[in-house]
Amino acid sequence: MDPSSIVDLSHKLDSKVQVYPGDRPFTCSQCATVANDGYSVHVLSFSTHTGTHIDVPSHFIANGKTIDQIPLPSLINPLVVVDLTHLDLQNRQIITWEDIKPSADRLGPGVTVVLRTGWDAYWSSPKYYEHPFLAKDAAQRIVETGVRVVGVDTFSPDETPYQGVGGEHGFAVHEVILGAGGIIAENLTNLAALDGHSHIALVPLNVEGSDGSPVRAFAWKA
């Protein structure tokens, strides 16, 4: 590992954190101060799907694995970036297997696949809800290659219903990937900084029974 090559792929958890429609807000409040108490302490409140985070099988699958049951090595993998930015994806455009196919020979067991749409540029704006999303059969083809960790630079690999628009496809992609025992990383950012980076880590909090957790996602050159 070349530590100087590390690129942070996580959004900062701050007052601008945009949460999934209907989700609880992120808050960070100070409950002790150096001036009053001699030390500083903050209290965090957030959903398990806040900011850059991972979904594990129990998010959608009854009796699926919870985050504390996921071995850390399965979240630290060779990285395959599928760059879709040349497609100039539009609001709510469906990403098809044809779009992924040119990268098919790089997909396989043990790699983490990251779909780069460029939509992280719209983080913290209404357009972020209108992200492109993956077709169910494309998710199935990805899983068939043996891939079990899929990341996106959007809210979700499925369409995000917002203000009465979208959602007809449900959570098909979540069900395909999590149903195969896989893991989904959402709200990745800074993928434009990747330049031959070979590995990625998605390190969650070890919360008993949780269906997800914020992660500090980062990539590096081996």
Binding mask 16-55 for Zn ion (x = CB under 5 A): ---------------------------------x-----x
Residue the block writes with tokens 């504390």: 68
Min separation Cβ 185 and Zn ion, Å: 9
Residue the block writes with tokens 């930015």: 85
Give the Cα separation of 166 and 21 in Å (integer): 12
Q: If binding is defined by CB under 5 A, does position 153 make contact with Zn ion?
A: no
Min separation Cβ 78 and Zn ion, Å: 23
Specify the stretch interacting with Zn ion by CB under 5 A; choose among 95-103, 116-124, 183-191, 196-204.
183-191
Q: Are 184 and 152 a contacting pair, CB within 8 Å?
A: yes
Nearer to Zn ion by Cβ, of 130 and 158: the residue is 158
Secondary structure of residue 129 in the 3-state scheme: helix
Dihedral over Cα of 169, 118, 85, 81: its sign: negative
Which residues in 50-109 contact Zn ion (CB under 5 A)? 55
Nearer to Zn ion by Cβ, of 81 and 188: the residue is 188
156: left (phi over 0), alpha (psi -120 to 50) or beta: beta
Count interface residues toward Zn ion (CB under 5 A). 3
Min separation Cβ 211 and Zn ion, Å: 8
Q: Are 153 and 119 a contacting pair, CB within 8 Å?
A: yes
Residue ranges in contact with Zn ion by CB under 5 A: 49, 55, 186
